Amino acid sequence: MYQIDNNNIVISEQADFDIEDVLECGQCFHFTKLQDKDYELIAFGKYLHVKQDLSENKIYLYDTTEDDFLNIWIKYFDLEKDYAQIKEHIINCDDRLRNAIEEKKGIRILKQDFFETLISFIISQNKQIPHIKAIVHNLSMKYGDEIKLSDGTIRYSFPTLEQLNNVTVDELRECKCGFRAPYIRDAVDKVYAGEITESILKTMSVDEARNKLMEIKGVGEKVANCTLLFGLGFNNVFPVDVWMKRIMENMYFGEDTKKEIIEKFALKKYGEYAGYAQQYLFFYGREKGIGK
DNA sequence: TCCCAGGTAGATC
DNA sequence: GATCTACATGGG
């Protein structure tokens, strides 16, 4: 349910949504916190200022249009999906996830742009989240489009495929990409050549798509899984990073366990919504420092 | 100074 | 196959 008020959209009674959980849970990197439950973000070339009032159960989308709301933001925030049903499914798979889901009940898996997701998670390897955000910001400022806001200030969209195609490895290094610079270059080459594209990947099975993504240098199991989950809409994947490894070892294995084994176990345990289970666990476990 | 970070490729056995 | 290490950069 939403209303339009000048150039603002007001969403009322949205269930299972907390803008802080959505943005801070580690799935996206191109946003800035302004205040409590008050953020600005850029996605699909558009700027959005979004603020949530939990006591009134209202979400305010500032400086946007009804067209963008209907065509971009509803899908981006996954607002049409029934998360109550997803949560029930996960808890039925293992009741011990109840805590994590209750604690982080406002998470939604964003439907992000494929290319931005791929590049962002190539950058993410061996980096902490604030550093990833910094590099994404560097690339956007240098190679993305300017977005002028009504107050005259400027933001920058994440560079498109075409824009990054004009960037050399050395220039990528200047944006602090480090050893990931040639990886990004290889990803851009393969996507630009039409060898690996969103439409091709979406026609594939999850295993085919993962293998295809892993043909890119610097894309392994984890980066591929994050791209599948956050950028391509596959739900039955389970990215295992250092945190998920610790959390799952702590919950289920009680000893050092290979990532591949954890991934297989989780896919079997959580079924078609393994990706969602992973995100509740990741955000909850990381905040609690589980296994550290 | 050393260790770690939403990992992966390449070398080595 | 399975294990080991280098890799840029920044922060604790």
Residue boundaries of the structural domains of chain A: 2-80, 82-108+234-292, 114-231
Tell me how crowded residue A235 is: count the other CB atoms within 10 A of its CB: 18
Which nucleotide C1' is nearest A229 CA? B6
Distance A66 CA to B4 C1' (A): 45
Angle of helix A259-270 relative to helix A274-288, nearest 10 degrees, comes to 120
Strand B lies under 7 A from the Cβ of residue A215: no
Which nucleotide C1' is nearest A258 CA? C2
**Distance from the Cα of residue A163 to its chain's centroid:** 21
Distance A6 CA to B4 C1' (A): 48
Mean pLDDT score, A160-176: 98
Q: Give percent above pLDDT 70 in chain A.
A: 100
Q: What is the reported pLDDT for A256?
A: 96
Chain A residues 108 to 127 with C-beta below 7 Å from nucleic strand B:
124-127
Distance A181 CA to B11 C1' (A): 22
Q: HSE (CB half, 13 Å, CA atoms) of A53?
A: 8
CATH architecture of A114-231: Orthogonal Bundle (1.10)
Which nucleotide C1' is nearest A224 CA? B7
Q: Decide if A165 contacts A192 (C-beta within 8 A).
A: yes
Which nucleotide C1' is nearest A126 CA? B5
Which nucleotide C1' is nearest A180 CA? C8
Mean pLDDT score, A141-145: 98
Mean pLDDT score, A146-158: 97
Instruction: Give the pTM.
Output: 0.98
CATH architecture of A2-80: 2-Layer Sandwich (3.30)
Which nucleotides of chain C does any protein CB come within 7 A of?
3, 7-11
Mean pLDDT score, A268-291: 97
Mean pLDDT score, A202-211: 98
Buried b (16+ CB within 10 A) or exposed e, A162-192: ebbeebeeebbeebebeebbebbbbbbebbe
Which nucleotide C1' is nearest A220 CA? B8
Strand B lies under 7 A from the Cβ of residue A217: yes
Taking alpha carbons only, the member of A240, A246, A257 closest to residue A290 is: A246
CATH architecture of A82-108+234-292: Orthogonal Bundle (1.10)
Q: Give percent above pLDDT 90 in chain A.
A: 98
Whether the per-residue pLDDT at A6 is higher than 90: the answer is no
Strand B lies under 7 A from the Cβ of residue A219: yes
Angle of helix A259-270 relative to helix A83-93, nearest 10 degrees, comes to 110
Taking alpha carbons only, the member of A84, A89, A88 closest to residue A14 is: A84
Q: What is the reported pLDDT for A182?
A: 98
Angle of helix A221-231 relative to helix A259-270, nearest 10 degrees, comes to 30
- The encoded tokens of residue A34 equal 């302004």
Distance A221 CA to C8 C1' (A): 21
**DSSP class per residue in A238-261:** ----HHHHHHHIIIIISS---HHH
